[in-house]
């Protein structure tokens, strides 16, 4: 830990001044943000408690309202059980009755049950089954599941032995059923008369509750144990909620499919049901979340403003120092022209004095370098012209030899063309006015030279030229391609009996100009190639060699440019010239 702190401390000390200010301000803002987050967390916890209390109150009120309605319906079942007309009708229905008597019984039962249906708005329908299985019904059309589960409901009524029982069915998510076994109270015989079933619209009871969470998506569910038999809204993830709370009431936050839900529950002794209030966490805390994000964005805005002010303030301090450091780096790399663009500070503080002293120093050094540079240019220019002058005798010697050979063999054919090409070559070689020509002009010289050599070697010289159009106006030192073609003929073609293919290519890659001269002559082994690269093999006659051309290129452009030679025995030789691609040069 101590080493880590020491490492951080060292890195901080090595930072720039403006970076140190940035780190300092960032630490202060981070501490402020930490306090804000802790405060928010405390406020959220308090808000959770308040939400729980209110949600519990709402749930308690809702459950009380639901149970009050169910108790009213339970009272209706008690009144039906003790109704004299219904008691007498069921007693008569136990014996043998005529169709007319049966009709009268049904009429009396329908009228009575209809009155009871109208007494409570949440009663869907009333069904009374006598001992013979005859059904007496009143109200709206019942749910089909009532008849599917009739035996189950009647079994629950039988278990109640006269007391009311509430029956919930998995197939019914909107209705519940109140059932009671009817007994005769005449002479306290308590003999069984039938079974009463009332279908209750539980969904309408819940929908009629006052909405305490306006604008939110909360809903009520009711369970018996862990079995949910009613949900106010469809909820596909209901099976993923945890309904195993053991306390009488409470709340928790449950996560389902990446979403949080605020769940409040309350157990009721009536019918042994548990009421659940489920509210999506995002819906409940929408405003709080909006405030939280607003505060965070506002904090980020303040942070950006603080950073901007720090940068503006630090620039006034660090910019003069950075300018001075930058100028020193340029001087260290040998660029003394920085004095032309470097503007010393006019302030009278320590930095201003340092600026002015440095400016005067590099100005004097630059003047001394320019004087020495001009002297060196004169010396190198003289050396360059001395190197170039070696080219003229070489051209003249070889060209005259070719003309002489052609005259001896062919006497008078094609002499005019050879002389024309020779004249062109001599004029360009001897002229010292232009040391730099275009690629197109250099290639013209190569063409004239090849014309002369074609008359000499005829079909044995297979010459090809490939020049990229957009580089024809690029600048190139005079007479660096023609000597390479001449070497290819001397060391390639003259050594072969069969035709020799010589190809000249010029193209651009990035900022570099590439000129390639290659042949399929006898080539060189590794030792010969190494000697050529080191300049240990002298050229034939008085001409210039590869070392001469390479020296000229390096003299003008620097050591990173020049010739590259590749060769293999019986595979030929390839010479590559690499120079900067420019339309003009400031100095050659």
- Contact between 194 and 90 under an 8 Å Cβ cutoff? The reply is yes
pLDDT at 140 over 80: yes
Distance CA 129, CA 19 (A): 90
pLDDT at 493 over 80: yes
pLDDT at 184 over 90: no
3-state helix, strand, coil in the chain (%, to 5): 55, 20, 25
Long-range contacts of residues 550-557, Cβ cutoff 8 Å, at least 24 apart: 551/387, 552/384, 552/387, 552/388, 552/477, 552/480, 553/477, 553/480, 553/577, 553/579, 555/380, 555/383, 555/384, 555/387, 556/384, 556/477, 556/585, 556/588
Cβ count within 10 A of residue 449: 25
Q: Indicate the SS3 state at residue 157.
A: helix
Q: Indicate the SS3 state at residue 265.
A: strand
Residues whose CB is less than 8 angstroms from the CB of residue 331 and which lie 6 or more positions away in sequence, other chains included: 338, 362, 365
The tens digit of pLDDT for each residue in 373-419 reads: 766 766 666 666 655 555 555 556 566 566 666 666 666 556 656 76
112 burial type by CB count under 10 A (0-12 exposed, 13-18 middle, 19+ buried): buried
Tokens of 545: 């060699």
Q: Edge-to-edge, what's the strand order for the sheet holding 135-139?
A: 135-139, 123-130, 192-201, 175-183, 165-167
Kindly give the pairing relationship between strand 461-467 and strand 500-509: parallel
Top pLDDT among 1 and 495 is at: 495
What does R_g of the chain's alpha carbons equal in angstroms? 54
- Contact between 562 and 413 under an 8 Å Cβ cutoff? The reply is no
Q: Indicate the SS3 state at residue 255.
A: strand
Q: Where are the beta strands (DSSP E) in 132-226?
A: 135-139, 165-167, 175-183, 192-201, 219-224
Q: Measuring CA to CA, which residue among 240, 264, 243, 268 is closest to residue 252?
A: 264
Question: Which stretch of 2-11, 272-281, 494-503 has the lowest confidence by average pLDDT?
Answer: 2-11
Question: Which stretch of 172-181, 327-336, 364-373 has the lowest confidence by average pLDDT?
Answer: 327-336
pLDDT at 146 over 50: yes
Domains in the chain (CATH in brackets) are: 13-284 (3.30.450.20), 298-362 (no CATH), 390-580 (3.30.565.10)
Buried b (16+ CB within 10 A) or exposed e, 370-409: eeeeeeeeeeeeeebeeebeebbebbbebbeebbeebeee
The tens digit of pLDDT for each residue in 26-40 reads: 788 778 777 777 776
- Contact between 126 and 139 under an 8 Å Cβ cutoff? The reply is yes
- Contact between 477 and 435 under an 8 Å Cβ cutoff? The reply is yes
Give the mean model confidence (pLDDT) for residues 494-505: 90
- Contact between 276 and 263 under an 8 Å Cβ cutoff? The reply is yes
């Amino acid at each position: 830990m101590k080493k880590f702190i020491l490492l951080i401390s060292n890195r901080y000390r090595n930072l720039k001044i403006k970076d140190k200010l940035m780190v300092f301000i960032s630490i202060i803002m981070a501490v402020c943000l930490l306090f804000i987050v802790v405060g928010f967390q405390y406020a959220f916890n308090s808000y959770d408690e308040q939400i729980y209390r209110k949600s519990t109150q709402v749930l308690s009120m809702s459950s009380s309202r639901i149970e009050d309605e169910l108790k009213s319906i339970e009272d209706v079942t008690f009144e039906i059980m003790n109704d004299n007309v219904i008691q007498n009708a069921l007693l008569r229905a136990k014996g043998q009755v005529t169709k007319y008597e049966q009709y009268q019984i049904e009429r009396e039962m329908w009228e009575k049950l209809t009155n009871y249906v109208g007494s409570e708005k949440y009663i869907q329908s009333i069904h009374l089954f006598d001992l013979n299985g005859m059904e007496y019904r009143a109200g709206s059309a019942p749910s089909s599941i009532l008849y599917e589960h009739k035996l189950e409901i009647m079994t629950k009524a039988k278990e109640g032995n006269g007391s009311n029982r509430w029956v919930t069915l998995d197939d019914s998510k909107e209705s519940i059923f109140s059932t009671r076994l009817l007994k005769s109270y005449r002479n306290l015989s308590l003999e069984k008369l039938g079974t009463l079933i009332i279908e209750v619209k539980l969904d309408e009871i819940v929908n009629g509750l006052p909405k305490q969470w306006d604008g939110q998506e909360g809903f009520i569910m009711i369970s018996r144990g862990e079995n949910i038999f009613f949900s106010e809204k469809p909820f596909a993830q209901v099976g993923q909620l945890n309904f195993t709370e053991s306390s009488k009431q409470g709340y928790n936050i449950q996560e389902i499919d990446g979403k949080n839900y605020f769940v409040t529950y309350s157990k009721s002794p009536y019918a042994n049901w548990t009421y659940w209030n489920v509210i999506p966490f995002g819906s409940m805390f929408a405003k709080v979340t909006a405030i939280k994000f607003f505060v965070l964005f506002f904090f980020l805005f303040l942070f950006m403003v603080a950073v901007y002010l720090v940068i503006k303030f630090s620039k006034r301090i660090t910019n003069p120092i950075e300018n001075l450091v930058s100028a020193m780096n340029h001087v260290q790399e040998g660029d003394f022209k920085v004095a032309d663009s470097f503007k010393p500070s006019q302030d009278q503080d320590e930095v201003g004095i340092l600026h002015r002293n440095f400016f005067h120093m590099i100005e004097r050094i630059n003047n001394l370098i320019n004087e020495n540079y001009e002297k060196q240019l004169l010396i190198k220019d003289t050396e360059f012209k001395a190197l170039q002058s070696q080219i003229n005798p070489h051209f003249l010697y070889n060209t005259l030899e070719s003309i002489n050979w052609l005259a001896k063999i062919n006497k008078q054919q094609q002499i005019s063309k050879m002389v024309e090409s020779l004249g062109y070559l001599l004029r360009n070689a001897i002229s010292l006015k232009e040391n730099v020509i275009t690629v197109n002009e250099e290639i013209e010289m190569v063409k004239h030279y090849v014309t002369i050599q074609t008359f000499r070697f005829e079909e044995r010289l297979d010459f090809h030229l490939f020049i990229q159009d957009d580089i024809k106006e690029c600048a190139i030192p005079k007479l660096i391609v023609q000597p390479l073609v001449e070497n290819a003929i001397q060391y390639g073609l003259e050594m072969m009996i069969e035709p020799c293919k010589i190809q000249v290519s010029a193209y651009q890659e990035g900022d570099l100009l590439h000129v390639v001269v290659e042949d399929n002559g006898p080539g060189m082994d590794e030792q010969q190639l190494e000697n050529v690269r080191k300049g240990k093999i002298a050229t034939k006659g008085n001409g210039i060699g590869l070392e001469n051309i390479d020296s000229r290129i390096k003299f003008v452009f620097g050591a990173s440019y020049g010739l590259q030679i590749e060769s293999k025995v019986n595979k030929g030789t390839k010479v590559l010239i690499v120079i900067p691609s420019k339309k003009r040069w400031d100095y050659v």
